[in-house]
Structure 1
Amino acid sequence: MVMIRVRSRDGLERVTVDNPHMTVSELNTQIEKQLRVPVSKQTLSRNQNLLLAKTPDDILRFTDMSNPQTLISSLGVSHGSMIYLAYEGERTVAGRAVNKAGSFGRKMTMDDLIAKQMRVSRQEKPHCESVSFDRDAASSFQHYVNESLAFAVKRGGFMYGTVSVDGKVDVNFIYEPPQQGTEENLILMRNPDEENLVEAIGLGLGMRKVGFIFTQTIGQNKKDYTLSNSEILQAAELHGQSGLKEWVTALVKLEVNEDGGADVHFEAFQMSDMCVRLFKEGWFETDIKGDADPKISRMKKDVVVGVKDTKEVDNDFFLVVVKIMDHQGPLSSTFPIENRNTPVTMRALKNHLDRTKSFPFVKRISDFHLLLLVAKYLDISSDVPALAECVQAQTTVPEGYQLLIESMASA
């Protein structure tokens, strides 16, 4: 049994045939029988531009399937193949009348056809089995936005860790790039040189970038959405850039508890495959007007949601919930963190080394944020990965590196 897909001005339909080597004439007969389009009214082609033809003369130019004795297999038509059908007149499709204006009817444009394929529905299962946060890294991030920023402005960072073969993501440190946060928006001022250092450290630690974490403000909590339209755009862009199917988007916010107080709450999502695809292909309206509903993402062209063609999609359709866990990772998170209100200086390095001098040296430097400060004075291609590898394996740090770091602290 062979299934052939037939796309016409009415959308996508299917024809089932027994013989994969039948002639075009026999296929015409099956289309008449199964789709109720008379053979005399049919024009078939493997060229999708047939559906854009506006006049009978235009249609007659498509001759690749015009010979009734040609075997369909010689045209590359086999199980699952797509062919295109133009026809005159009217017919009933799936129990409903299809009313076409004019003898050849209103032809669907390619945009119409593409929109019919862009069906937005909820993705039931994430590619990421779960996400587990290192307790110290998560605590340091949420403590800063709670105590220092009071959840008044947004804050974000990139999560680094590992992905297991079964799709479990472990987040072991959070890198906070230069940024500017307001109550509604988060602008990441990416520093390629610094991010190259972060990647080199991650490589030495056996870790990679696995997601994006950001906060919502108290003002946002009063609004009725999970993620705003601007947050959807930012999250979809970063997810798309990552090339990682298990990429996680994490949200941190304050929620009112049963006693009327406020608790810090973590949520984790993946952006749906369709969301990332729509963003990559430029379907999203990225110029968000001031009066736009923040819980709705607007498209440049119609997509199908349920049975409705629309340019407006509820943001929740794009979110796939990910289970959250926690763990104690291999790194500490006590060293001052980059790109916050207070610059990190060598004084911080000295204080940290003095405070931890009872530990082995490799243990004293087992903190991503310390490694990032030190890495700015090392060779990115050799020294940075080598030092990070010592931390990963918890092996003795070569004396040259130890003396260099101690001299930095004493400068």
Structure 2
Amino acid sequence: MGKCPFSNMLDPETYAEGMPYQELKELRNAGPVIRMADPITNIPYWLVTQREELDYVSKNPKIFSSHERLAFPMEIPDEMRPILQQQIINMDPPIHQKYRKIIRRAFTPASVESYEPAFRAHAKRIVDAVIDKGECEFVEDIAAELPLIAILDLLGVPADDRKQFFNWTNTMIFADDPDMSTSEEEGQMAAFEVIQYANNLAEQHKANPQNDLVGALLDGAVAGEALTQEEFCWFFVLLLVGGNESTRTVTAQGMRLLMEHPDQLQYLVDNPDKIASATEEILRYNTAFTTMRRTAMEDTKIGNQDIAKGDKVVLHYHCANHDESIFGEDASVFDVTRPERMPDLYNQHRAFGIGQHFCIGSHLARLELRVMFEEVITRLHRPKFKDKPLFVRSYFVNAMKQMNITFDAA
């Protein structure tokens, strides 16, 4: 890679064996902002590795745009960009706030709390389905279930269509992993199918209005302006992927970490009241989204580093979430008791981002994680790996592909 001693952090192969934490530590030590080459795309970028600089970029959208070349870290073909700029993740102020206000109502803490009994019932049923077998493939059988059911419930999608959505989201998310035998074209086709589905839901809502998330989106207006049907459809795709894939990933990675640290798992078995706070350490340690992109809109600085107008800036959330200056010298250690030592951990990690693009579904994700881990930890006893867990090769989503486990039924 020429003079740069580090791997390309935008190469899927860098993540083939999971998150390269030792290398991320070396990157943090090398400086908060590092110039990186990308031989795959030939577009160099600035990698932001420490939290202070990540926060600065995230909180200054006028200088560091999500809209200009999208917030996704990969290079998107020019003809696709105008379409994807309609997604809220790829918007800058002031238009971003308009859309955020429409959707926020469905995700307030009070709204989300009201979902707990339904989520709890789903989580019990998910564990019931595997408990007598003494084994399962954790990613699909457990981790993927609740987030998908939850977001599809909120979006008014009938249970019969869930399997189809599971397949569509996999195809969209895993398009850059060669093992998943999907391609970019198939990823786009899957997105198109979801958009068609969303269109049909919008038509049904006109005929028979529902008081669900679809209703909130279609009926909501800011300054008298409602979403167009096309805008609604793009919202639907983003909610589906953001609300489903991210929580699935954190659940699977969290279970893996607990199994790799059996003393910590036992601590939570003995102290189930600590499960909720432990999920914050799981979120910090293995965040769902690895990287996002911003584009410099003017010549500027990040820290002491000069950045030129048009430069690609990549925020590495895992790197920042292990920043020793914030989380202490043991930042690279997974420790479910960390929130007891650091009660504001939930506010210090960046698993949900920061600034205007702070994850709108953070309350929902936290509820799902708590409910799911409370069921799994208290009921699947002495879990063991049946074989080596497999990670998705992706520099965007920190997903797990497969994790076969055995356990004793409670």
Q: TM class by shorter-chain length?
A: under 0.3
TM-score calculated relative to the size of structure 2: 0.24
Bigger strand share: 1
TM-score calculated relative to the size of structure 1: 0.24
